[in-house]
Amino acid sequence: MHPASLLPPELADRPFRVSEALALGVTPKRLRSADLWAPFRGVRAPVSLGWSPLLRARAGLLVCPPGTSVVGLHAVAAAGLVLPYGFEAVLADEPLLVRVPLSTWHWNWSRVGFAVDPAPLPATVPRVTDDGARRPADAHLWARVVAWPSPRLHRLRHRPYALTLGAQVVERLGGDLAPLQDAVLVLPQGVRHRLVPLIAELARTTARTVEDGGSGRR
């Protein structure tokens, strides 16, 4: 068996659209080689890249409408933030949760491998891009995940997980709670009340951490 021909350098280390590869002269036969896999229809990725939530998000967004964001726990995983215990396997079996722009709301909801989040994502919510994966910024990601928890997360686990994730986000933000408070204000009024006590508890935890650090206690 002859070894597969090399991919063009611009495709060798990332997921790519089949149409992009064909335009660069890659043959359909080459795209069926064993060193490539198809995370989504119309997308290929080198097997050598392995698998990760971030790679899956990058690959999926390639065939979504421009301006689409990965959301929910799929975005949390792509961001490298903590997931509820055991949810790595849960998410791997679920469709990739995305939010498409309102201008493309007609996008095919039944497309294999995707689910479109019905929760509002206003234009005022800042987005960040992690190596090609577009998602809400950390503070807003926390607020949305807590306001609209995964239906597969038991209700008794909501609060502990919200506090664990919130503490990690606050740490990323250098101990600043203000972005989380601002993110809560962007949410619909009907769900804000769920997050206010959590913000207060995170503030107390942050204050204790600063106090313990300043006193030299461990």
Q: DSSP assignment of 150-167, as one string? A: -TTS-HHHHHHHHHHHHH
The domains of the chain are located at: 9-49, 53-215
- 116, β-bridge pairs: 98
45: β partners = 37
Task: Supply 59's token pair.
Answer: 């690959």
Asked if 180 and 143 touch (Cβ cutoff 8 Å), the reply is yes
The C-alpha atoms of residue 125 and residue 110 are separated, in whole angstroms, by 26
**This prediction's pTM:** 0.90
Tens place of pLDDT per residue across the chain (218 aa) = 566 788 999 999 999 999 999 999 999 999 999 999 999 999 999 999 999 999 999 999 999 999 999 999 999 999 999 999 999 999 999 999 999 887 776 666 556 799 989 888 998 999 999 999 999 999 999 999 999 999 999 999 999 999 999 999 999 999 999 999 999 999 999 999 999 999 999 999 888 765 666 545 44
